[in-house]
Amino acid sequence: MYKIEISKFLMVILLAVGSASAIAAPDWSKVPKREIHVFHPGVTPIEWVMKKSDHSGRTGLTKGESCVGCHEEKGGLNFDMKRLAGKEIEPKAAPATVSFPVGVQAAYDKEYLYIRMTFTPPAGGADHSDKDNDVKAAVMFANDKIALDAGGKIVAGAQLGCWASCHGDARTMPGADDKKTKYAKSGTYELMQWKSGKGSKPVDGVVSDKRNMEGGMAGVKAQSEIKGGMYTVTFVRKLNGALADGKAVPVGFAIHADKATGRFHHVSLGYMLGLGADGDIKAAKLQ
């Protein structure tokens, strides 16, 4: 009996140490910050992106260009923000703030990847359907098999960010099936999401032929801090699946602000996260 109690005690200590090390945040003051901009995309699913009469950049994509390569400038995105704010792209109504900055920091060690997002979610949203969460923050990683066949030309996940999972027939799109979720025609995204609602657990999910909000193998943990309207969300996940040391991985970020659901999020373009490799966002290697 006594032995059992001691072994139980040791197990608790070990678990506590283990979980503490898993979420032991790096010294973020020493990790470089990359500022990206997230924007309200409206109804621009992958079908829109790949239709030349809607988006002449299809030509660039089929020639190997990435979304970021064309649309990111020093200091922001070069979209026609008036067009994004109008009803042409978003038939319901666009949020008052079409685009806002997010600071992204990343670090990794042998076992874990740490991602920190710093942002001030704007009010003035156009959709307030999420009664449980004021704000949600998500990160998706594409594995090597995420790709699109554009008339025989292959467009890779590294060019598209999350767009290969965003379809016009998925829930919250105009006239779409309310039960159909994000999906990818080939490959898998690993999804992690933090929700502000009380008692909400971080999502460790995957997107393949449909979206599963659980069942991921990344052991996602998330912490948050809110100061003066500024949110700091820190994710920790295992360095497994699509992620590995020495690899650059396609990554995209999304924020649902002001109780938004579905397509009424602000999303980033697709970036490359360098883990000991070149990338738009370079993760610092922790000793």
Partner 1 sequence: MKEFIKRLRSPSAKYSLLSLLFVGFVGGIVFWGGFNTAMEATNTLEFCISCHEMRDTVYEEYKQTIHYSNRTGVRAVCSDCHVPKDWAHKMARKVKASGEIWGKLAGTIDTPEKFEAKRLELATHEWDRMKKSDSRECRNCHSFDGMDTEKQKNRASKMHKIAQSDNKTCIDCHKGIAHKKPKNMPEEPDDE
Which positions lie near partner 1, rule CB under 8 A? Answer: 51-54, 56-60, 62-63, 65, 69-73, 78, 150-151, 153
Specify burial of residue 57 (Cβ count, 10 A radius: 0-12, 13-18, 19+). middle
Using the minimum distance from each CB to partner 1, give the nearer residue, 21 or 78: 78
CB 103 within 8 A of CB 118: yes
Using the minimum distance from each CB to partner 1, give the nearer residue, 61 or 107: 61
Nearest approach, Cβ of residue 64 and partner 1 (Å): 10
> What phi and psi, each to the nearest 5 degrees, are found at residue 82?
-65, -40
Nearest approach, Cβ of residue 68 and partner 1 (Å): 9
What does the block give as tokens for 207?
A: 């997107």
Nearest approach, Cβ of residue 238 and partner 1 (Å): 35
Using the minimum distance from each CB to partner 1, give the nearer residue, 60 or 241: 60
Give the up-direction half-sphere exposure of residue 8: CA atoms within 13 A in the CB hemisphere: 5
Using the minimum distance from each CB to partner 1, give the nearer residue, 155 or 242: 155
CB 243 within 8 A of CB 113: yes
- Cα 200 to Cα 11, 146, 226, 273, distances in angstroms: 26, 29, 16, 27
Nearest approach, Cβ of residue 278 and partner 1 (Å): 19
**Residues 132, 146: Cα–Cα separation, whole Å:** 32
Using the minimum distance from each CB to partner 1, give the nearer residue, 135 or 272: 272
What does the block give as tokens for 139?
A: 């990160």
Nearest approach, Cβ of residue 81 and partner 1 (Å): 13
